[in-house]
Structures are given as structure tokens and as C-alpha cells.
Amino acid sequence: MIVYNKMYLKDIVVKKEYFPRARLNEDAIKRYMDLYNLDRIIDPIIVQKEKLILIDGFHRYEAQKRLGREEVEVKLMDIPEAEIFITSMKL
């Protein structure tokens, strides 16, 4: 079950071991920053409900962080922490 919510960016836990890529792509971050500045609708980042761990949206998270956003829209996903990496690979 997925729940939509707003939360403070600072409360989201980012664990690199759950990021399915080797590193962040600067071009992707810049594109997201441009889209956010234009107030375009972008899919919210996905966060694990219990511990607030980032599951999907690492580039969107970083773009909003660089833009100084305090609150962001998220989808809260109710899954166990042991399933985060597998889930992030599927999204």
C-alpha cells in the first residue's frame, strides 16, 4: 500500500547501500532542478514508511536539496527494510 504525504527533506534517511547506481548523475540532477524551478509536476520520491529511508528518487531528492526545499512530496511505502534494495531496483 502506498500513502502520499509531505515531509521535511531533512527527515528522509539516505543510505547509499540502497542506491542501485554507482553514483548520482549531475545532468539528471540539473534537469530536475530546472523542472522544479518551472513548477513542473514530477513524480514524488518514494520513502519507506517506518524508518523514512529513501527508496526511489535519489536524483529528485538531491535536486530539491540543492534548491533549498524544506518540504517535499513523497510516497510512503509500507515495506520492510530488508526489501528496500530489491524494491528500488524494480522502480
pTM of this prediction? 0.88
% of the chain residues with pLDDT over 90: 70
**For 26-54, how does the pLDDT look when each residue is reduced to its tens digit (9 = 90+)?**
999 999 999 999 999 899 999 999 999 99
* Run of H or E residues at 48: strand 45-48
Could you tell me if residue 57 is left (phi over 0), alpha (psi between -120 and 50 degrees) or otherwise beta?
left
Of 17-21, 39-43, 79-83, the one with minimum mean pLDDT is: 17-21
Query: What pLDDT does residue 18 have?
Result: 82
Query: What pLDDT does residue 76 have?
Result: 93
Query: What pLDDT does residue 86 have?
Result: 85
Query: What pLDDT does residue 47 have?
Result: 95
Quote the mean pLDDT of the chain.
91
Could you tell me if residue 3 is left (phi over 0), alpha (psi between -120 and 50 degrees) or otherwise beta?
beta
% of the chain residues with pLDDT over 70: 97
Beta carbons of 88 and 55 less than 8 angstroms apart: yes
